[in-house]
Amino acid sequence: MRYDLIENEVSGETIKQDDYIAGLAKGLSLLEAFGVDRQKLNSTQIAERTGLSRTAARRYLRTLKYLGYLETDDHYFWLTHKVLRLSSSYLSSAHLPKVVQPILNLLSAQTSLTFSLVVLDEHEVVPIARSYLPQHDNLRLSPYGMHLGNRLPAHATSTGKVLLAALNLEEQKHWVNNYSLKRLTAYTIQDEAQFYQVLAEIQKQDYCLSKEQHELGVIAIAVPVLNAQGKAVAALNCIAQTYRVTEEQLIQQVLPLLRNTAYELRSMV
């Protein structure tokens, strides 16, 4: 018996046509349309972002409002706290964040710097664990963007470039063609040839040092976290303000800690 298969262009995952629920996929794509750039959207904007018709967009919006995932003022819609059930369930049950949390805390205690574990999700990276020490609450050690679940542009971050460097050149070009190299600061790499060269260097040296490409005044260093099969499944990084540490300090003092930690995690992921 032959089954027609649908392939996910991003992940490469396939599913039988008969098993695919289009309505569920559309509803989830609608929730994903909300982001930090536009926290409130109307039905027309949702239709443009998802490819739905305005009539269908309104029906999905009203259904999600009925279920409690959206709120509205009868013109614009926005996400409610109920969507956090999905992320909190993941963070409380997933193996990797649980395993790495005490390790990140130990690294932070040793260095007074901020450490995080990040995964790649399409064109963005998402922190799934971050060092936390109660005594550091008032020291502002965590630059903007490193709270759990926040989404950061992969091409301009240390963790994103480390994970992109793990792809082959064809996959990297496909990624750039899909998502482009958006300028975030004066230091963001926008030239494609230069970007591929940087990724090749990262792959060779097995770490990435990124300075002010995503946010001015912020510097970070990252290494890949491999599973038992040698595939990069996450990235481990240290992030700080440029006035607190130098590139040399990160490479000489922090990089060995990151590499040792990534090696220890290999048997756990």
Model confidence pLDDT, tens digit, residues 143-199: 445 566 678 899 999 999 999 999 999 999 999 998 999 999 999 999 999 999 999
The enclosing domain of 45 has a CATH number of: 1.10.10.10
* Average pLDDT estimate for 44-64: 92
Question: Do 125 and 199 fall within a single domain?
Answer: yes
Has residue 235 been placed in a domain? yes
What average pLDDT does the chain have? 87
d(CA 109, CA 43): 48
The enclosing domain of 113 has a CATH number of: 3.30.450.40
Has residue 89 been placed in a domain? no
Confirm if 81 and 87 have CB atoms less than 8 A apart. no
- Number of structural domains found in the chain: 2
Question: Do 128 and 58 fall within a single domain?
Answer: no
Question: Do 45 and 144 fall within a single domain?
Answer: no
Q: Of 27-41, 51-65, 251-265, where does mean pLDDT reach its minimum? A: 27-41
pTM: 0.74
Question: Do 29 and 152 fall within a single domain?
Answer: no
pLDDT at position 91 is 63
Question: Do 125 and 247 fall within a single domain?
Answer: yes
Full domain range(s) for residue 27: 5-84
Report whether pLDDT(266) > 70.
yes
Question: Residue 153: which of 118, 198, 201 has the closest Cα?
Answer: 118
* Average pLDDT estimate for 241-258: 95
Question: Do 145 and 247 fall within a single domain?
Answer: yes
Report whether pLDDT(140) > 50.
no
Residues 6+ apart with CB under 8 A from 45: 33, 38
pLDDT at position 124 is 87
Q: Per-residue confidence at 228, pLDDT binned at 50, 70, 90?
A: confident
pLDDT one-digit tens code per residue, 94-119: 778 888 889 999 999 999 999 999 99
pLDDT over 70 percentage in the chain = 88
pLDDT at position 10 is 65
pLDDT one-digit tens code per residue, 78-88: 989 888 777 76
Token readout for 240 is: 């700080």
Question: Do 210 and 177 fall within a single domain?
Answer: yes
